[in-house]
Amino acid sequence: MSKEIKNTSQGEKKQLLPSDFYMENGRKVMTEQFHIRRGFCCGNGCRHCCFLPEHTKGTTTLKFEVKKNDFLIEENIYNK
């Protein structure tokens, strides 16, 4: 069974990459790479939120300029 994430606004599912999260105390912690690939803030107070203003649902402005070589970003997860 593959791990999937769901974009509730569009209802489409995409597969999680191993580098998208790590486990800590039994909880899944989403990485900065995951957030950048997703392309917007979920507003859940994520530890690795990379959007400004932080923890504001729907925000798409990154805190920093991301270069394609910084992460393995093939595409925005939701093809926004």
pTM for this one? 0.67
Report the alpha-carbon distance of residue 47 to residue 41 in Å, rounded.
12
pLDDT given for residue 1 in this prediction:
39
pLDDT given for residue 57 in this prediction:
96
pLDDT given for residue 43 in this prediction:
96
* HSE-CB for 43 with a 13 A CA cutoff: 4
Handedness of CA 74, 76, 77, 80 (dihedral sign): negative
Angle at 73 between CA 64 and CA 80, to 5 degrees: 85
Give per-residue pLDDT as tens, 5-64: 555 445 566 789 999 999 999 999 999 999 988 989 999 999 999 999 999 999 999 988
Range 9-18, long-range pairs (CB < 8 A, 24+ positions): 10/78, 12/78, 14/77, 14/78, 17/72
Give per-residue pLDDT as tens, 48-75: 999 999 999 999 999 887 755 555 444 4
